[in-house]
Amino acid sequence: MSGHYTSPIRDPLIEGNKTYHDITVDLVAATERAPSRAWWIAFGVSVSFLTLGVICMLITIWQGITSWNLNRTIGWGWDITNFVWWIGIGHAGTLISAILLLFRQKWRTGVNRAAEAMTIFAVICAAIFPGIHVGRIWVVFFFFPYPNTRGPLWPNFNSPLLWDVFAISTYFTVSLLFWYTGLVPDFATVRDRAKGLRKKFYNFLSFGWTGSAKHWQRWESLSLVLAGLATPLVLSVHTIVSFDFATSVIPGWHTTIFPPYFVAGAIFSGFAMVLTLMVITRHVLNIKEYITIEHIESMNKVILVTGTIVGVAYLTELFIAWYSGYVYEQFAFFNRALGPYWWAYFGMMACNVLSPQVFWFRKIRRNIWWTFFMSIFVNIGMWFERFVIIGTTLARDYLPSSWSYYVPSFVEIGIFLGTLGIFFTFYLLFTRVAPVVAIAEVKHILKSSGDQYVHGHEQASATAEVVEGSQP
Amino acid sequence: MKTLTISKNHRTVCIAMMAIGVLSLLATFFGADDELHTRFWTNFLHNSVFFTGIALMALFFMAASITAWAGWYVVFKRVWEAFSLFLPVGLVLMVIVAIGNYVGYHHLYHWSDPESVANDALLQGKSGFLNDNWYLLSTLIIGGLWYFLARKIRSLSLAEDEQGENSFEHHRKMRIYAAAALPIVGFTSAAMIWQWVMSIDPHWYSTLFAWYTAASWFVAMICITILIILYLKAQGYFENFNRDHLHDLGKLLFAFSIFWTYLWFSQYMLIWYGNVGEETGYFLTRIKDYPILFYGNLLINFALPFLVLLRNSTKRRNGTMIFVAVVVFLGHWMDIFQLIKPGALHTAHELAGHAHDGAAAEHGTSVTGFIFPHILELGTLIGFVGLFLFVVLTILSKASLEPAKDPYLQESLHHHV
Amino acid sequence: MATKNKEILFGIYSDEEELLHAVHKANDAHLVIWDVFSPFPVHGMDEALHLSESRLHIVGFIFGLLGTLTAFLGMTWIFTSDWPIIFGGKPYWSIPAFIPITFELTVLFSSIGMVVVFYTISGMGPGVTNPTLHDRITDDKFCIAFDASNLSEEEIDKRESFLKDSGAEEISTKVI
């Protein structure tokens, strides 16, 4: 990290003239007090959605995939749409932790802990779908390659569906390790303030952390290497998910831009979900001084950039479809825009390409209400994008006599709502058990980015004006 | 030293390099070429595209850094400003190619030949985009737009040095132009790459192609940044460019080499996997007829930077960094070589009435300079490097090397990883 | 662990710059520091304490290489020798198709290996309790600690006065 020299043009990242002790108290507060009524209501709603989801999953397992509306030729519907949607959402956490660490962006410390937690919960939700959509979940262990007495029967290493199994298991494991490594010192902070049963609990979780200099050195080295590993990992995971489509020969699916385009889209939706959660969390837990408007603005800029990249990819696909002269490819896109699912296509375009353009305006980037509603739009748009790719293409492929239309069954809708329930239940529990902001990392940047040390360029220019104005 | 003075030595070396380039080009044109002058024109196009792309990536990365409030690079930002101001030169070179489409002194593009288009439904379908008029117009308009953005950012940067004060007004304006430059370059670079490079193989397409080519340009840009700075540092300039700055450039080289490889693999694997004849022909030709180029590309541009730059220590040593930068620079030059040469040779064969079965050697037309760069290709490269250096050094000499009033200067001077 | 029983003499500071300065002074005075504790990593501390560079990245590389070889050689054996089946017209040894899993296993092995080694060599793990000297070290206080187990009165006094002079606001001993 650079020394304490910070350019006067930068705005502070910690407000309120905090001391190290203030940071500790503010950020462990939520774990030390009983949940508020708002928390209980949110928890109740989430758990009911979760329950609905579990019931629908049990129905699926009991009755089979017949409880869904998948049929010829639409073999993938809400299941895979939701799978890709959740994996995409998970990408922001790793990006914030890993890539922003490598780029030395100090503002990541306000949001990385919650974003990493979000990644883990999102990946859990995503992993449910490959699990339950196979039909015979009791033999899902067939996926895993180990010497067996079934032949031996190995999985197909040539299939992107199996690459997915490895990618998502690895992603889940590495994200968990990365998240937990960061949490250990913060759990120690909670432990040292706790008494009785809570102390025992946090003692278990903090792995015996003492704050020794040698341990910090190893911890920083480990964080950097994990970040260096997690960066290509996060690119590879959504790339491999895109391979599920791109390795086929289906028009609209078989296109080489899918890997980086999917990654950009994942980051796009992930940041949107982080914003949705952060806007609420910072307000409810009263930590606006740690998740400042600077943080919000930076994340909105990332949304603008990744949304534009997604837009470039859309235009590229459209142009090359024309350029290729391949009638089926041209039809695929014609069908997306004007076929039976035209409403999904326009939803996608409006939410993903048009709406983020508002973030060109600084005032809007720094406005909480705009940010909150935009973040929801973006996630809706990205859901539509996956549905457009999957649903429209499968509904109208090569043979017109096979054309069909897909509408999800109540069981499928219930499962999706259930994953929302699982996600928010986990997140709500997380906010009670662990500090949602990386305490040690925020303390680390206090002297370079706290508002008593850094005044920001608006204040700097105001000071300059005062000085100039006072010239005789 | 705070200002660069171009010594007589510099000038002499650059001019000598350019002379070598001109001689190589002449020797190619008059000596070692077919009647369509394919070798000459592919060498010309290859190098023009390569260096224009480097200039464009410097503009793009500068714009990204400004928009991201990055401060570490400011101590050498003049280098990237100078790179981006090579754009007008690059565009003049591309306009020469564009005019060639009309007057027919080259036959690089199959779609530019009216007879070929008349007999080919695919080419007819693409003629709305692949035509001589649009090639020239887009080169002029889009190229002009890039130059406008580069000049604007440069002039704001210079003005900041003269009149910059605490309100950071110049930087605010730079952020606006930089932010605008990002989507503009993002969209238009793709269009120009399709036009200049991808259309050399007009029956083939790949949606990833533009990003792949841009990544190649980007790594080459980082390589030549490292080389120019270390050279000037050895001459006594850039005293405040420290080991940590070098380390960061090394990290960028490492990371974007891996990113380039990722794009290479995505494009290759998806076409291999789908096994669609219209797409696989592109790679089959390269694997069968240009194998050294094809596999060498991966070796030099992935294996070498990955293995050498994985460790922290290697990114902090001048010698190692110079070695890697030179090799990878040549590696990406070769990458663009193999994007252009096979398709152009195939077009030449088609136009000269030869059957196309991929075994170029059997046609009696020499393939020297196509299957692998030969001495004249290297001579041409030297010429273009000389030109690039001449332009860059001239521009560097026009302003102080250290931007005194840049708001991030102190951060950059105290840069410590 | 039960037979450790070290006597630790330590001082508590409120500012990391003061702490770093004190460590430098301790080095000058040739006082061997047992350990330094802080609520976050202090910039410059590694050099001040002459800590040898962490070699975790080497661990990461080795485990990663193990992952690469396991994946690639494993799939090669399975698909060329043990269970060769033609999938989609692709050759048995379909290298491009092996790349994604090879990459994933490299990252997986590397990460798990490094994390497990990190906790093991640091004496940490689920449920492990290491003695802490002061409850506010993980809050806002910094600590320099000397091992006073076998030191004479004079030596202990020297360290105590050093701690006081360098700005320690609390000086204490603990047996761990």
Task: Provide the pLDDT for residue B417.
Answer: 75
Q: How far apart are CA B49 and CA B195, in angstroms?
A: 11
C57-90 burial string, b = 16+ CB within 10 Å, else e? bebbbebbeebbeebbebbbebbeeeeeeeeeeb
Nearest to A249 among B165, B182, B276 (CB): B276
CB contacts of A174 in chain C (<8 Å) are 107-108, 111
Q: Do A232 and B168 touch (CB under 8 A)?
A: no
Model confidence at A458, pLDDT cuts 50, 70, 90, reads low
**Cα-to-chain-centroid distance, residue A297:** 17
Strand partners, C173: C9
Using a CB-CB cut-off of 8 Å, the residues of chain C touching B268 are: 96
**A contact chains, 3+ CB pairs < 8 A:** B, C
Q: Which of A96-105, A266-275, B128-137, B332-341 has the lowest mean pLDDT?
A: A96-105
Chain A: closest CA distance from residue B411 (Å) = 6
pLDDT in tens, B143-194: 999 999 999 999 999 999 888 777 788 999 999 999 999 999 999 999 999 9
The pLDDT mean for chain B works out to 92
Using CA coordinates, name the residue in chain A closest to C137: A211
> CB of B182 within 8 A of CB of A308?
yes
Cis-peptide into A109, omega within 30 deg: no
Is the CB of C104 less than 8 angstroms away from the CB of A24? Answer: no
Calpha distance B174→B84 (Å, rounded): 15
The pLDDT, as a whole number, for residue A471 is 37
Number of domains in chain A: 1
Domain that holds residue A390: 9-143+160-464
Tokens of C152: 């004479």
Q: B69 touching A, CB under 8 A?
A: yes
Report CB contact under 8 Å: A443, C57.
Answer: no
A36 touches chain C (CB under 8 A): no
Q: Which of A413, A411, A389 is nearest to A65 (CA)?
A: A411
Q: Provide the shortest C-alpha distance from residue B322 to chain A (in Å).
A: 23
pLDDT-based confidence at C73, cuts 50/70/90?
Answer: very high
- Residues from chain C that touch A214, judged by Cβ atoms under 8 A, are 35, 49, 51, 122
Query: Minimal CA–CA distance to A356: which of A398, A317, A409, A301?
Result: A301
Residue B72: its chain A contacts at CB < 8 A? Answer: 2, 104
CA B148 to chain centre: 19
CB contact under 8 A, C97 and B268: no
> Which pLDDT tens digit goes with each residue over A461-471?
444 444 333 33
Residue A424: both structure tokens together: 């928010």
Report CB contact under 8 Å: A218, C129: no
Domain membership of residue A136 (yes or no) is yes
- Interface check B144 vs A, CB under 8 A: no
C22-54 pLDDT per residue, tens: 999 999 999 999 999 999 999 999 999 999 999
Measured between alpha carbons, how far is B102 from B119 in angstroms, rounded to an integer?
19
**Residues C88, A99: Cα–Cα separation, whole Å:** 37
Q: What residue in A sits closest to C51 (Cα-Cα)?
A: A214
Spatial distance between the Cα atoms of B174 and B186, rounded to a whole number of angstroms: 18
Residue type, B291: P
pLDDT digits (tens, 9 = 90+) for A188-245: 999 999 999 999 999 999 999 999 999 999 999 999 999 999 999 999 999 999 999 9
Q: Residue B259: closest CA among chain A residues belongs to which residue?
A: A232
Q: Which helix (H) or strand (E) holds C147?
A: strand C142-147
Cβ separation A256–B271 shorter than 8 A? yes
Work out the average pLDDT over A320-329.
94
pLDDT of A467 reads 38
| Mean pLDDT score, B315-341 | 96
Which strands sit side by side in the sheet containing C35-37, from one edge to the other? C35-37, C142-147, C7-13, C170-175
Whether A4 maps to a domain, the answer reads no
The answer to whether B207 contacts A255, with C-beta atoms less than 8 Å apart, is yes
**Which residue of A4, A216, A236, A439 is the best one to mutate when testing the C interface, meaning the one whose CB has the most C CBs within 10 A?**
A216
Q: State the pLDDT confidence band at B1, using cuts at 50, 70 and 90.
A: low
Beta strand C142-147 with C170-175 is unpaired
Question: Is the pLDDT score of A437 beyond 70?
Answer: yes
Q: What is the pLDDT of residue A4?
A: 64
Which of the other chains make 3 or more beta carbon contacts under 8 angstroms with chain B?
Answer: A, C
pLDDT of amino acid B356: 46
Burial grade of B148 (CB within 10 A; 0-12, 13-18, 19 or more): middle
How would residue B355 be classed by pLDDT, with cut points 50, 70 and 90?
Answer: very low
What is the predicted pLDDT for the residue at B365?
A: 57
User: What is the reported pLDDT for A457?
Assistant: 55
- Closest partner residue to B269 among C61, C88, C96, by Cβ? C96
| Assigned token pair, B335 | 């990458």
Whether residue A472 is contained in a domain is answered as no
The single-letter DSSP state of residue A27 is H
A229 contacts chain B (CB < 8 A): no
Structural domain includes residue A242: yes
ipTM score over 0.85, yes or no:
yes
- Rounded to an integer, the average pLDDT of A361-368 is 96
Nearest CA in chain B to A302: B68
Q: Give C1's pLDDT tier (boundaries 50, 70, 90).
A: very low
Task: Tell me whether residues A257 and B129 touch, CB distance under 8 A.
Answer: no
Which residues does chain B have within 8 Å of residue A320's beta carbon, measured at their own beta carbons? 205-207
Does residue A150 form part of some domain? no
Min Cα distance C111 → chain B (Å) is 16
Which of B166, B247, B248 to mutate: most A Cβ within 10 Å? B166
Quote the minimal CA–CA distance from A423 to chain B in Å: 31
A124 CB near a chain B CB, below 8 Å?
no
Cα–Cα dist A24/A193, whole Å: 10
Task: Report the mean per-residue pLDDT for chain A.
Answer: 92
Interface of B with C in 303-322 (CB under 8 A): 310
pLDDT of A320 above 70:
yes
C-alpha–C-alpha distance, residues B45 and A33, integer Å: 69
User: A252 — alpha (psi -120 to 50), left (phi > 0) or beta?
Assistant: left
Contacts of C35 in chain A (CB under 8 A): 212-214
Between CA A345 and CA A392 the distance in angstroms is: 9
Tokens of B210: 């533009």
pLDDT at residue A397 in the model: 83
Residue C9 has pLDDT above 50, yes or no: yes
Using a CB-CB distance cutoff of 8 angstroms, which residues of chain C are in contact with residue A191?
138
Residue A1 placed within a domain: no
Contact A169/C at CB under 8 A: yes
Question: What is the rounded distance in angstroms from the CA atom of residue B327 to the CA atom of residue A2?
Answer: 31
Token representation of residue B325: 């930068």
Do residues B371 and B289 make contact, with C-beta atoms less than 8 angstroms apart? yes
Percentage of residues in chain C having pLDDT higher than 90: 89
CB-CB neighbours of A284 under 10 Å: 14
Which chain A positions have a beta carbon within 8 Å of C78's beta carbon?
A: 145, 154, 157
**A459 close to B (CB below 8 A):** no
CA A129 to each of CA A265, A388, B238, B416, C101: distance values in angstroms, whole numbers, following the listed order? 20, 18, 56, 46, 20
Residues B82-109 pLDDT 10s: 999 999 999 999 999 999 999 888 889 9
Which among C88, C89, C99 has CB closest to B265? C99
Give the minimum alpha-carbon distance from A309 to chain B in angstroms, rounded to a whole number. 8
B-chain residues near A1 (CB < 8 A): 416-417
pTM of the model: 0.93
Average pLDDT of span B292-298 = 92
Does the beta-carbon distance from B207 to A256 stay under 8 Å? Answer: yes
Tell me which DSSP letter residue A450 carries. Answer: B
Find chain C residues with C-beta within 8 A of A210's C-beta.
37, 130-133, 137
Is residue A148 one of the residues assigned to a domain? no
H/E element, B351? helix B318-351
- The distance of A358 to chain C (nearest Cα, Å) reads 38
Tell me whether B210 touches chain A (CB under 8 Å): yes
Q: In this structure, what DSSP letter does residue C7 have?
A: E
Mutate to test the interface with A, among C139, C146, C147 (most CBs of A within 10 A): C139
Interchain contact, B268 vs C61, CB within 8 Å: no
**Interchain contact B265–C (C-beta under 8 A):** yes
Give yes or no for B274 touching A (CB within 8 A).
Answer: yes
Gap between the Cα atoms of B84 and B160, Å rounded: 18
How far apart (Å, rounded) are the C-alpha atoms in residues A350 and A358?
Answer: 12
pLDDT tens by residue, A136-160: 999 999 999 998 888 888 999 999 9
Task: Inform me whether the C-beta atom of residue B273 falls under 8 Å from chain C C-beta atoms.
Answer: yes
Radius of gyration of chain B (CA): 22
**Residue contact B269–C99, C-beta within 8 A:** yes
Do the domain assignments include residue A458? yes
Both ends of chain A: CA-CA distance in Å? 43
C-beta atoms of C96 and B275 within 8 A: no
pLDDT 10s digits, B205-256: 999 999 999 999 999 999 999 999 999 999 999 999 999 999 999 999 999 9
Whether the Cβ atoms of residue A472 and residue A224 lie closer than 8 Å to each other: no
pLDDT in tens, C118-160: 999 999 999 899 999 999 999 999 999 999 988 899 999 999 9
